[in-house]
């Protein structure tokens, strides 16, 4: 045992306040654990499983911040359990861990994130243009590095869905799930729209069926992204500008005609999606029946997490 274990205010114990329950309801249960230096929240959850609650459900895979499986709400803030160090949390207070509030609970800390996979099916996929005669000769496409770089940031996404969880448009309004793709999928759409070879035009689809206009640029999604993707500044705002271009700017329209930048029409692009129409909405009880964190911990939460007006 370390002399002055971190994250415990000099005590040698830490209280883990974990959500236990399923879709019918549940509550927080306290587990008092010996503290150990250098641990992350997932380590302590595993020790709770090993010593006190072998039936505690928790999803994880890599323990390296790369698989996106261990998303949860730690002291009210959406975060990865495997990347949240115990010594980064308030000293001497219970550590609250709850499942993501925006998605239906399966059991304990595990939620059903299949809504996101349904949304993913509705994004028209990458569709490269035909090769030029020169490119056919060399057997590959030619692109400017600067054009490739713009969309590369979005490829760092690990699909943890923390940004989806924090976004008030779906977190607080279940009914919006049928008509709002969410920040992860705006980033995906931006990645494809900005790809120099892609010919699908997703702009009208984003505006008319995927709720781009519902985003009010609060940047909560950017704040919780473990990959530090600037979702709002680099994906959502440029997409909003492109939508305006497509709908209202005759000069931009003329420019595209002159430059012969041939994109597929929105209808043709939509027809290439694996699925069309609104996403299937999973039933969810309001706020998943999880009470807000204690006032002290709620104050420490990021905007959009566990408070009445996130996003
Ligand atoms: S900026 Fe705010 S409203 Fe827009 S997608 Fe991100 S969290 Fe949602
Ligand atoms: S954009 Fe960031 S927060 Fe959203 S799913 Fe990808 S990695 Fe997670
Ligand atoms: S276990 Fe893979 S991201 Fe946390």
In percent, how much of the chain has pLDDT > 70? Answer: 77
For the Cβ of 68 lying below 6 angstroms from any atom of ligand 3, the answer is yes
Domain topology for 13-111+284-300: Ubiquitin-like (UB roll) (3.10.20)
Which of 130-139, 141-150, 158-167, 200-209 is most confident? 158-167
Closest ligand to 120 CA? 2
What's the 235 CA to ligand 1 centre distance in angstroms? 11
- Taking only the tens place, the pLDDT of each residue in 41-84 is 999 999 999 999 999 999 999 999 999 999 999 999 999 999 99
Q: Interior CA angle at 229 toward 226 and 234, to 5°?
A: 160
The answer for residues whose C-beta is within 8 angstroms of residue 25's C-beta and 6 or more apart is 285, 289
Enter the tokens of residue 64. Answer: 């390296």
Q: What confidence category does residue 273 fall into, taking pLDDT thresholds of 50, 70 and 90?
A: confident
For the Cβ of 56 lying below 6 angstroms from any atom of ligand 2, the answer is no
User: What does the DSSP 8-state code read for residue 176?
Assistant: G
Is the pLDDT confidence value at 31 over 90?
yes
Enter the tokens of residue 99. Answer: 């499942």
Ligand 3 atom at minimum distance from 60 CA: 1
In percent, how much of the chain has pLDDT > 90? Answer: 70
Q: Could you give the residue ranges of the DSSP H alpha helices within the chain?
A: 41-51, 114-121, 133-138, 145-152, 162-166, 168-171, 183-193, 203-208, 220-224, 237-248, 250-258, 266-271, 295-300
36-to-94, 268, 288 alpha-carbon distances in Å: 15, 57, 32
Q: Burial, 49: exposed, middle or buried (Cβ in 10 Å; 0-12, 13-18, 19+)?
A: middle
Closest ligand to 172 CA? 1
- Distance (Å, rounded) from C-alpha 125 to C-alpha 178? 20
What's the 15 CA to ligand 3 centre distance in angstroms? 22
Ligand 1 atom at minimum distance from 186 CA: 5
Q: How many residues does the structure list for the chain? A: 311
Q: Taking Cα atoms as reference points, which of 281, 273, 305 lies closest to residue 292?
A: 305
- Distance (Å, rounded) from C-alpha 222 to C-alpha 231? 5
What's the 53 CA to ligand 1 centre distance in angstroms? 36
Q: What confidence category does residue 23 fall into, taking pLDDT thresholds of 50, 70 and 90?
A: very high
Domain edges within the chain: 13-111+284-300, 114-271
- Distance (Å, rounded) from C-alpha 221 to C-alpha 160? 12
Is the pLDDT confidence value at 192 over 50?
yes
Q: If phi over 0 gives left and psi between -120 and 50 gives alpha, with beta otherwise, what is residue 286?
A: beta
Instruction: Tell me if the domain spanning 114-271 has CATH number 2.170.120.12.
Output: no
Radius of gyration of the chain (CA): 22
Question: Which pLDDT does position 297 carry in this prediction?
Answer: 35
- Structure pTM? 0.83
- Residue 80 phi/psi, 5-degree rounding, is -80, 130
Per-residue pLDDT, averaged over 203-220, amounts to 95
- Distance (Å, rounded) from C-alpha 112 to C-alpha 100? 9
Tokens 């998605």 sit on residue: 103
């Amino acid at each position: 045992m370390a002399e002055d274990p971190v994250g415990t205010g000099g005590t040698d114990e830490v209280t883990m306040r974990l959500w236990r329950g399923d879709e019918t309801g549940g509550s927080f249960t306290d587990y008092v654990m010996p503290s150990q230096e250098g641990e992350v929240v997932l380590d302590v959850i595993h020790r709770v499983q090993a010593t006190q609650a072998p039936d505690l459900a928790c999803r994880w895979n890599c323990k390296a911040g790369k698989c996106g499986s261990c998303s949860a709400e730690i002291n009210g803030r959406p975060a990865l359990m495997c990347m949240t160090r115990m010594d980064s949390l308030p000293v001497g207070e219970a550590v609250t861990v709850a499942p993501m509030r925006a998605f239906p609970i399966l059991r304990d800390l595990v939620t059903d994130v299949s809504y996101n996979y349904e949304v993913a099916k509705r994004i028209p996929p990458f569709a490269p243009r035909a090769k030029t005669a020169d490119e056919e000769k060399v057997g590959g496409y030619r692109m400017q590095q600067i054009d490739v770089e713009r969309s590369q940031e979005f490829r760092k996404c690990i699909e943890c869905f923390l940004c989806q969880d924090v976004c008030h448009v779906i977190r607080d309004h279940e009914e919006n799930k049928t008509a709002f793709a969410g920040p992860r999928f705006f980033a995906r759409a931006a990645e494809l729209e900005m790809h120099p070879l892609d010919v699908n035009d997703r702009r009208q689809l984003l505006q008319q069926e995927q709720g781009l206009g519902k985003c009010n640029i609060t940047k909560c999604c950017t704040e919780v992204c473990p990959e530090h993707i600037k979702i709002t500044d680099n994906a959502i705002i440029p997409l909003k500008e492109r939508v305006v271009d497509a709908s209202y700017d005759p000069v931009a329209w003329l420019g595209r005609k002159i430059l012969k930048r041939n994109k597929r029409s929105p209808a043709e692009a939509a027809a290439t999606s694996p699925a069309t129409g609104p996403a299937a909405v999973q039933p969810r009880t309001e706020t998943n029946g999880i009470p807000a964190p204690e006032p002290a911990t709620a104050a420490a939460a990021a905007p959009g997490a566990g408070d009445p007006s996130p996003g």
